[in-house]
Chain A
């Protein structure tokens, strides 16, 4: 990892800046477009006109839009996302407390999807036209058509109600387990750190259905892309040369073909994450998962806008960060990108 790679990192970081600025501006504008008068809203239903006026001054809503935007940026820089009306807490603290639950769920879903999708795509590409190819295509088309909230419910019905294999879809941990001391916030990791395998099992059981739901949803685009790019790579000259040199099938498939075929798959990850973060909200609602998605839904229903705004900003910033990470990963696995930089 020489200086060229550092230069690549710097350039990509600069490239992500416009997206970040756009995200902050749009989130700011969305809050200003809120229906009704925010001052009247924050002052409460019984407020007198004088009280509303005072709240307006307090919130800085009487100043011009650019000044307000400046104040908003300063607040953000201090990690101040405003106060939630329903919980009375700082939105920043609420989101920070709930974020690990969402991250754990999303990561498990993604890992599950990758573990299924890449072998499936490779198998389909090595035997085009076979039954495995056809079933992979069926799974892909069906997968993109599935409403996540509906698949989640179906899984709950089959695995909780009918078979009794899964615990009740009520959050991250059942009532009988005690949570391990928080270190990372990711329950599975915390359990391992505490050496509490009983709770680890309970947490994994709770996590199973929601992450399968998320995984099913993202298998489709990933498998499709793996198949398409494997097909392209397998018919290329260097694979033919490798075959002619008598290398083993495994070496040809994994070392030669898959490594090259993974590049377009990594690019698709950006789009997959866009869907995954959105689907996360729905899955959290189905499984009463205490992440930031269900937090935003509760706030939306109660017309409590500060949490919604904090949620959108967090999600968007995470998405920009993920895209940046994907870009860097691309540079890491494709030496050509590094050399160009």
Chain B
């Protein structure tokens, strides 16, 4: 265990950006948890006489067309954006890796069926498929989560399948079988923990993509609806004002969205350094 800690410390020293990414991730989680309790203004309270005000000390991010405090809205939005992306990634991780494990383990017709499903999803441009799913299932936040989960499923299924079939004949699997474990136990407690590290990297990179996807869908008017504060919607609302020079309405939510995605991508790269044995010294 201490070797792992030492290794993590080594990686962080080697690449300080990873440390920064971890700090950013922690900040996002904290904001998602307590954001609504610490903001200075009610994110929904409008004050029309104070509309479209550029940033001041009182409103550090300015106010929008209804006089709502953009800073408070950006902070409060962290929760819903994180909820959507974490829920979506969790769903695609659980279902995708289960399908991949089963396909890679049993091979044959089951494997081909899983492969066919994955290929079908990948035959669409992913964002377009997400639009179609939300249009078909109905325009709600839950359906944004399902759509995002479905388009991310192939990545987990493919990865789990490859990693499983590579380890199917491994010594530790043989040993587990000889000590009387059935298939389910071997898959759950012996194979799954072994394929977890590369999957963690995928999860981190995927969280960024999931946030982008959800924000993109709400930017075009699907999923989260106004007046709920959400980064994609806030950028969409600001889009109308940017041609007349009110830059702050779109800039702040857009920048925070970008930083969040950037943070997840750096985190993914950092995690890869930690779990990739070739880089372990």
Using a CB–CB distance below 8 Å, which chain A residues touch chain B? 18-19, 22-23, 26-27, 30-31, 33-35, 141-142, 144-150, 153-154, 156-157, 160-161, 168-169, 273-279, 281-282, 285-286, 296-297, 300-301, 305, 308-309, 311-312, 315-316, 319-320
Contact = CB atoms under 8 A, between A and B. Distances in A.
Interface in B129-164: 129-133, 135-138
B261 A147 contact: yes
Contacts of B254: 147, 150, 153-154
B136 A34 contact: yes
Given A156-B243, A300-B131, A311-B128, 8 more contacts: A19-B119, A141-B265, A145-B261, A153-B254, A275-B127, A282-B216, A312-B129, A319-B124
Nearest to B260: A145
A161 B258 CA distance: 22
B216 A147 contact: yes
10 contacts: A30-B133, A33-B136, A147-B216, A147-B235, A147-B257, A278-B125, A278-B216, A282-B220, A312-B129, A315-B128
A281 B262 contact: no
Contacts of B133: 30
| B interface SS class | helix
B88 interface: no
Nearest to B132: A312
B221 interface: yes
B120 A22 contact: yes
A146 B260 CA distance: 10
Contacts of B255: 150
Contacts of B104: none
B82 interface: no
A281 B128 contact: yes
Contacts of B122: 274
Given A281-B128, A285-B220, A30 B136 contact: yes
A301 B220 CA distance: 9
| A interface SS class | helix
Contacts of B257: 147, 150
Contacts of B124: 23, 26, 274, 312, 315-316, 319
**Residue of A160, A279, A282 contacting most chain B CB atoms (<10 Å):** A282
Contact of A279 (B127, B136, B137, B138): B127
B250 A27 contact: no
Contact of B135 (A18, A19, A142, A305): A305
Contacts of B219: 147, 149, 282, 285
A161 B262 contact: no
B218 to A, nearest CB: 10
